Amino acid sequence: MAFDINTFKSNGLTRGGARPSLFQVEMSLPAELAAFNSSLPKFTFTCRAASVPASSVAPVEVPYFGRKIKLAGDRTFADWNVTVMNDEDYAVRRMFEEWSSLLNHNEFNIKYTDGNNYKTADAVVTQFSKQGGPAISAYTFIGMFPTEISAMDLDWDATNTIQTFNVTFSYDYWVAGAQLGSTDARVGGAAGAGAGGGFIPPV
């Protein structure tokens, strides 16, 4: 194989390479948190770091006469993390704190919601092209709720920086190529295909 840069350009990153900084995160809230819906657009603008979710299937080892073969086992979904910039109104931080309080109150050992209503309908991380046009990929998280809201350090020596915090979510599963608000978030599902724009097919 010849070390030809032109061969690499014509066969490698033919679209210029996907950029990790070109993304946004959107989500919906449980009905009990409707008072905080006004904070959702601010969350989209202040969510400074996220990730494309991992895809994991554990192997099952089957022994036979001193050897082992590996078969496909069950799929697992690792927790998902975002990093959020904190503004002086604390609007997004308060939103997540109230959501966490629905799961188990800070003072009283009770849950302030019926059944599984504390789970949001969905959240979507979308990645865009360098041209700023249509999205190149999107992933929707189904049945999501926060499990941890990180501490925020305060320090007299911390200057020229914006305060941030992390939120860790658990969820039931993720799908590729869906949109926020779909009742059927499967790729090509009835709701996703007919929701009136915004449907992002997998790449």
Please spell the DSSP secondary structure of 41-85, one letter per residue.
HHHHHHEEE--PPP-EEEEEEEEETTEEEEEEEEEE---EEEEEE
For residue 180, what are the domain limits?
19-53+70-193
- Asked whether residue 64 is assigned to any structural domain, the reply reads no
- Asked whether residue 81 is assigned to any structural domain, the reply reads yes
pTM confidence score: 0.80
- Asked whether residue 63 is assigned to any structural domain, the reply reads no
Q: What are the 10-residue block averages of pLDDT along the chain, 203 residues in total?
A: 77 84 92 91 96 92 95 94 96 95 82 78 88 86 94 95 96 80 40 36 40
- Asked whether residue 3 is assigned to any structural domain, the reply reads no
**How many CB atoms within 10 Å of residue 165?**
17
Pairing of strands 173-176, 56-64: unpaired
Q: C-alpha distances in angstroms, 59 versus 66, 69, 72, 74, 175?
A: 18, 9, 5, 8, 21
- The pLDDT of residue 182 is 47
In the chain, alpha helices (H): 5-11, 40-46, 91-103, 190-193
> Structurally, how many domains does the chain consist of?
1
What percent of the chain is modeled with pLDDT above 70?
86
CATH number reported for the structural domain that contains residue 189 in this entry: 2.30.110
- Asked whether residue 101 is assigned to any structural domain, the reply reads yes
How many residues belong to the chain? 203
- Asked whether residue 117 is assigned to any structural domain, the reply reads yes
Distance CA 14, CA 36 (A): 43
- Asked whether residue 163 is assigned to any structural domain, the reply reads yes
- The pLDDT of residue 65 is 94
- Asked whether residue 80 is assigned to any structural domain, the reply reads yes
Write out pLDDT tens, residues 178-188: 555 543 433 33
Beta-carbon contacts of residue 63 (< 8 Å; ≥ 6 apart): none
